[in-house]
Amino acid sequence: MIHNLPTPTDARGVAVSECKPSSLEDYERALYQFQSYFGDPTETLAATVENDPEFVMGHVFNASAMLMMTERQYIPAIQQSIVCAESLSHKSNDREKGLIAAAREGLEGRWDRACAAWDRVLERYPRDAMAIQCAHLMDFFCGDAVNLRDRVGRVIRHWHEGVPGYSYILGMQAFGFEECNQYDKAEETANKALEIERRDGWSVHALAHVMEMQSRYEEGKDLLQSRAQDWAPNNGFAFHNWWHLALFHIEHEDFLGALGLYDEKVIPEDSDVALQMLDATALLWRLHLQGVDVGKRWNRIADMWARKATVENGYYAFNDLHA
Ligand SMILES: [Fe+2]
């Protein structure tokens, strides 16, 4: 007798091909880490697929999350995860096949086509939180302001407070509004997100952008400082919000304050993370333009870039420009 087992779904009701129940729990944990920047989703997923090598979403999420680092050094690991996911196509559902195709586009450098592929998934599965965020981050890396707003805008009617992770969708939409110069809507949406999840660093970031754009420097400084206990400790995105705080210090010509943040928060130790090195470089450049002597900090960041140059040169123009 053939039993028709119910198709497993994730916490948002999105169908997942058959896997161990513990793998789905891991997936949810990795998704929270991805959305909140508390913890490392790739570490979680690597352990998950070791325990459940046929967990398609584990492989495809791992590949997609690594793509978001914008560094060539992850390409071999991304490639390996995609090959594992592709080898499971006989048991993948149509959404997973779409996500694998998007990751492959990203792997091969076609970031615009990766976003189009995530969009095709979202047409049928608007609550695929991983696809929304990957496309949003790619829009961010490509500077695609309209899609930062509208890609989220196309799916948000399928979300509400009862759906886990709704606040993070609002946070992305808030940033999209800000990038499209709709500052009131951005602020309202980010505040709504923070009412649900006050530790959401991406929503705080959207507010910081609004305040920077509207020259509300004092308010921006207060916002970041007063909420630092929420968005900063153990958060992988905190360096960028500290960078924004340093910009508010620069606006007030408090260059020592900005340098203090550079040393203690933006890049307290040598880093191998391009996204962090970008902010360090950009902060030194702004201080340099203000006539501030930044001492040997240029040498240190130049050495960090030099260590990455052979592998990373020519992969992502924004990184190259800062290096
Ligand atoms: Fe920013």
Residue range 165-171: mean pLDDT, rounded = 98
pLDDT of 317 > 90? The answer is no
Domain coordinates of the chain in residue numbers? 1-126, 143-233, 237-323
* DSSP letter, residue 264: I
Distance 175 CA to ligand 1 centre (A): 9
**pLDDT by residue (tens digit) across 261-275?**
999 999 999 999 999
Residue range 243-253: mean pLDDT, rounded = 97
**pLDDT by residue (tens digit) across 25-55?**
999 999 999 999 999 999 999 999 999 999 9
Over the chain, what is the mean pLDDT?
96
Please check whether residue 96 is in contact with residue 57, taking contact to mean a CB–CB distance below 8 angstroms. yes
Distance 177 CA to ligand 1 centre (A): 14
Report the percentage of the chain scoring pLDDT > 90.
93
Residue range 152-171: mean pLDDT, rounded = 97
Distance 76 CA to ligand 1 centre (A): 29
**pLDDT by residue (tens digit) across 59-95?**
999 999 999 999 999 999 999 999 999 999 999 999 9
Q: Which CATH number fits domain 1-126: 1.10.3470, 1.25.40, 1.10.10, 1.20.120?
A: 1.25.40
Residue range 126-154: mean pLDDT, rounded = 97
**Residues ≥6 apart with Cβ < 8 Å to 300:** 270
Cα distances from 39 to residues 35, 83, 90, 236, in angstroms, run 10, 25, 32, 7
DSSP one-letter string for 12-47: TS-B--S--HHHHHHHHHHHHHHHH-BS-HHHHHHH
Distance 204 CA to ligand 1 centre (A): 10
* Three-state DSSP class for residue 200: coil
Distance 212 CA to ligand 1 centre (A): 10
Distance 6 CA to ligand 1 centre (A): 43
Query: What pLDDT score was predicted for residue 5?
Result: 62
Class of domain 143-233 (CATH, top level): mainly alpha
Q: What is the pLDDT confidence band of residue 97, given thresholds at 50, 70 and 90?
A: very high
Domains 1-126 and 143-233 fall in the same CATH topology: yes
Report the percentage of the chain scoring pLDDT > 70.
98
pLDDT of 3 > 60? The answer is no
Residue range 280-302: mean pLDDT, rounded = 96
Q: What residue type is assigned to position 82 of the chain? A: I
Distance 7 CA to ligand 1 centre (A): 40
* DSSP letter, residue 11: T
**pLDDT by residue (tens digit) across 178-232?**
999 999 999 999 999 999 999 999 999 999 999 999 999 999 999 999 999 999 9
Please check whether residue 22 is in contact with residue 51, taking contact to mean a CB–CB distance below 8 angstroms. yes
pLDDT of 6 > 80? The answer is no
Distance 129 CA to ligand 1 centre (A): 21
Alpha-carbon span 301 to 286, nearest angstrom: 15
